[in-house]
Chains A and B, each alone.
Chain A
């Protein structure tokens, strides 16, 4: 019920850091196994099932194998940056999880412990900042390897991440407009107060966020940086052993963070649907469960089991999105590079800008009329559903999302290669150049 003493703050923070990062790395290890089992299921194979029951110990075996493998270093590589690049890739990927709240606050005899490592006042901006730093690792890996395939992969990853960061930032703005703040704890609280998960009133923002998150994590159908049919494996072609593993861990922790963010921003985070017992928020030095009609905060005293239940809710939502990531990877083919850029700059950026404008206008009008509560959410839901429909069927114009192969095969617009008119060479026609 009360604030933590400095000593308790140090102890709980250290504990949270230790537990969360150990859990993150363990989950990442098991995600590699899950990915292989799911790919096997989709392709009608068995997948790894020899090490331990159901292959559960496969990640351990993989880890031991990776540590024992030889470290290779290309003779022409830039040594410093070649070693530095995996570290630069893994650090932003792992520490992003620090601002994601993963359960309801826990009331202990020493004070209320927020189930988030760092509830910093800039929340989502911290995530955007780290996402923009993630480029360096991949780009430097490609450049320092001194290998043309690795370099192309690095350049592709940098241009792709820079392009989709714009759409990612713009797809978060609608969430900020409904929340009125940038901290993730407040986003969860506002979704509980509104009674709507933001995925409904902001469906188009959710769609844009998911697409950009796929592009930011370099996952299929946006895995151009490591397109194995053209670039061997892209930026980590020259890496072996644990250095390769670090890129792998970075990719999977990116996926985990992106899934956790989707759950927090659009699916209510750790809140449990249709239950008000988990409405908890740290408000001006006290834990509250809501406001009275007069606007007075109501103090709350939840049991420890609320924290456990809300953590399970958060874990379920995150696991769902992780599965979506894997499902998509083994279902969709890879885009062409020009399609990726076209989608990012010419489709998603204008759509996101227009949507932000339209949504802001709608919210302004609703506020002026005085619409509140359920009706407010319902009107926004209808408006966003309409916008999503327009996005998929009009703005995209049968190009990417609804499938490239089916529609409009006879359209000239779809072909990126323009017919080049070549000068006709004729023997003895040099005199006719003046005519």
Chain B
């Protein structure tokens, strides 16, 4: 059952990603992206990362994609009659950057046992014990607000700075 669901979600995720790139209508692309993000949330659920799945849907599929939708509507990009794809050098740069990223990802696919991340991984038994002790959200929240609280607060300040900056830039035009 889990295997079947995995392949269903994986297929929709990859298909949605292709749809985002290949379709010309921005609104279709956006909906395919929502589909991809939702499928990823489904994959997270299959890995029993429920919290991550919920956050994926709330933040990405629900909030950020709605903002994308606003931008598309406000700039009146919602029609596919205008071909505004970049050709020539722009296309070449795009393929080069995408290819480099793909190469970077593929080079990491050879196995996870010797990566730095895997060395810090406490193992499935320790993880189960942690989940049983603190619950699915406490397991993430507790380290976030104790060990990593400085980094967490710094990220918060960074977001605040970005927010204030956006308002300052927009305010000049109004």
Chain A positions within 8 Å of B61 at CB level:
129, 132-133
Which residues A82-137 have CB closer than 8 A to chain B?
A: 84, 120-122, 125-126, 128-133, 135-136
By the criterion CB–CB under 8 Å, are B137 and A182 in contact? yes
Which residues A125-171 have CB closer than 8 A to chain B?
A: 125-126, 128-133, 135-136, 139-140, 143, 155, 158-159, 162, 165
Q: How far does the Cβ of B76 sit from chain A's closest Cβ, in whole Å?
A: 11
Bound Cα distance A76, B54 (Å): 37
B63 at the interface (CB under 8 A from A): yes
B58's partner among A129, A140, A162 (CB-CB below 8 A) is: A129
B70 at the interface (CB under 8 A from A): yes
Give the interface SS of chain B, mostly helix, strand, loop or mixed. Answer: helix
Q: How far does the Cβ of B29 sit from chain A's closest Cβ, in whole Å?
A: 13
Given A120-B50, A126-B54, decide whether A132 and B62 contact each other with a Cβ distance below 8 A: yes
Q: How far does the Cβ of B161 sit from chain A's closest Cβ, in whole Å?
A: 19
B69's partner among A80, A131, A139, A181 (CB-CB below 8 A) is: A139
Count residues of A near B (Cβ-Cβ below 8 Å).
27
Given A132-B62, A133-B57, decide whether A121 and B50 contact each other with a Cβ distance below 8 A: yes
Bound Cα distance A182, B137 (Å): 8
Bound Cα distance A263, B28 (Å): 39
A200 at the interface (CB under 8 A from B): no
Bound Cα distance A112, B135 (Å): 22
Bound Cα distance A158, B78 (Å): 16
B17 at the interface (CB under 8 A from A): no
Which residues B34-78 have CB closer than 8 A to chain A?
A: 34, 50-51, 53-55, 57-58, 61-63, 66, 69-70, 73, 78
Chain A positions within 8 Å of B31 at CB level:
81, 84, 136, 140
Chain A positions within 8 Å of B34 at CB level:
136
Given A120-B50, A122-B51, A143-B73, decide whether A129 and B66 contact each other with a Cβ distance below 8 A: no
B136 at the interface (CB under 8 A from A): yes
Chain B positions within 8 Å of A84 at CB level:
31
Task: Return the CB mask of A250-274 against B: 1 if under 8 Å, else 0.
Answer: 0000000000000000000000000
Residue ID in chain B nearest A133 by CB atoms: B62
By the criterion CB–CB under 8 Å, are B63 and A132 in contact? yes
By the criterion CB–CB under 8 Å, are A132 and B58 in contact? yes
Task: Return the CB mask of B121-137 against A: 1 if under 8 Å, else 0.
Answer: 00000000000000111
Chain B positions within 8 Å of A162 at CB level:
63, 66
Q: Give the number of residue pairs across the A-B interface with Cβ within 8 Å.
A: 65
By the criterion CB–CB under 8 Å, are B66 and A122 in contact? no
Which residues A166-225 have CB closer than 8 A to chain B?
A: 181-182
Chain A positions within 8 Å of B135 at CB level:
121, 181
Residue ID in chain B nearest A186 by CB atoms: B135
Bound Cα distance A140, B78 (Å): 11
Which residues A303-352 have CB closer than 8 A to chain B?
A: none
Count residues of B near A (Cβ-Cβ below 8 Å).
22
By the criterion CB–CB under 8 Å, are B70 and A122 in contact? no
Chain B positions within 8 Å of A128 at CB level:
54, 58
B27 at the interface (CB under 8 A from A): yes
Chain B positions within 8 Å of A133 at CB level:
57, 61-62
Q: How far does the Cβ of B81 sit from chain A's closest Cβ, in whole Å?
A: 12
Residue ID in chain A nearest B67 by CB atoms: A162
Chain B positions within 8 Å of A81 at CB level:
27, 31
Given A81-B27, A121-B135, A121-B136, decide whether A129 and B57 contact each other with a Cβ distance below 8 A: yes
Bound Cα distance A120, B54 (Å): 11
Given A132-B66, A133-B61, A182-B137, decide whether A125 and B54 contact each other with a Cβ distance below 8 A: yes
Which residues B10-45 have CB closer than 8 A to chain A?
A: 27-28, 31, 34
**Which of B28, B55, B62, B69 has the most chain A CB within a 10 Å cutoff?**
B62
Bound Cα distance A130, B136 (Å): 20
Task: Return the CB mask of B95-137 against A: 1 if under 8 Å, else 0.
Answer: 0000000000000000000000000000000000000000111
B78's partner among A125, A143, A182 (CB-CB below 8 A) is: A143
Q: How far does the Cβ of B40 sit from chain A's closest Cβ, in whole Å?
A: 13
By the criterion CB–CB under 8 Å, are A129 and B54 in contact? yes
Bound Cα distance A126, B62 (Å): 12
Subset of 10 A-B contacts with CB under 8 Å: A81-B31, A122-B50, A122-B136, A125-B51, A125-B55, A125-B58, A132-B66, A135-B62, A136-B69, A159-B70
Q: Can you add 15 more A-B contacts, CB < 8 Å, to A125-B58, A132-B66?
A: A121-B135, A121-B136, A122-B54, A122-B136, A125-B51, A129-B58, A132-B57, A132-B62, A139-B66, A139-B69, A155-B73, A159-B70, A165-B63, A181-B137, A182-B137
